[in-house]
Chains A and B, each alone.
Chain A
Amino acid sequence: QVQLQESGPGLVKPSQTLSLTCTVSGGSISSGGFYWSWIRQFPGKGLEWIGYVYHSGTTSYNPSLKSRVTISVDTSKNQFSLNLTSVTAADTAVYYCARDTYHSGWYFFDYWGQGTPVTVSS
């Protein structure tokens, strides 16, 4: 059973960088067909896809965040990470890591971490 677990600070000051790591267990992050993603959920419950990294290091980002986001992968540790720079209160959300799976021609998020709340405040 694949499991994902987010880790990182729950409080970040405005203008600083939000950094989170997702540790994958029960499966290899190097397996093909999976896109390792970050998704956030705002206090009003809306969901926003942030981006993904493939095991090769290939990335794709939401255009709304592209200038501030970096997602990277460390296959030796079976982890992938999110960096979001110049944060503001609008970045306050629960951050999820998730696996975007390619299955029979379709992509969908089949495994999610439990989510980690991040508050941006001084």
Chain B
Amino acid sequence: IQLTQSPSSLSASIGDRVTITCRASQAISTYLAWYLQQPGRAPKVLIYAASTLQSGVPSRFSGSGSGTDFTLTISSLQPEDFGTYYCQHLNVYPRTFGQGTKVE
């Protein structure tokens, strides 16, 4: 299963609403997670099951979608939100990731 994210990068300011999309090459129901990788650090899970917020993740993050089209939204961008976002499909092997969206 191929995952294609758009855009590949975007420029945003503190307080902006940011939207990132992930498209799957075939229907995957809601088997999708989103991760944030801050510079020099490992990825951190934000959302799984397409829309379920992982424990401890701020509510400004939200996810939606099912089938082949998914969206990650940050309602008000904060300084710690800069980095690269990846989508990943769940529950099927091999696990695959999108190519990433860099927010700068």
Contact = CB atoms under 8 A, between A and B. Distances in A.
Are both chains from one complex? yes
Interface of A: 37, 45-49, 60, 62-64, 96, 98, 100, 103, 105-110, 112-115
B95 A49 contact: yes
Contacts of A113: 42
Contacts of B95: 37, 49, 100
A7 to B, nearest CB: 15
Given A106-B90, A107-B90, A108-B33, A47 B45 contact: no
Interface stretch (B18-26, B61-69, B73-81, B96-104): B96-104
A103 B45 CA distance: 13
A61 to B, nearest CB: 8
Interface of B: 31, 33, 35, 41-45, 48-49, 52, 54, 84, 86, 88, 90-91, 93-97, 99-100
Nearest to A65: B94
Contacts of B45: 108-110
A6 B43 CA distance: 15
A103 B97 CA distance: 19
Contacts of B96: 49
B97 A46 contact: yes
23 contacts: A45-B84, A46-B100, A47-B97, A47-B100, A49-B95, A49-B97, A60-B93, A62-B93, A62-B94, A63-B94, A98-B42, A100-B95, A105-B49, A106-B91, A107-B90, A108-B33, A108-B90, A109-B88, A110-B45, A112-B42, A114-B41, A114-B42, A115-B42
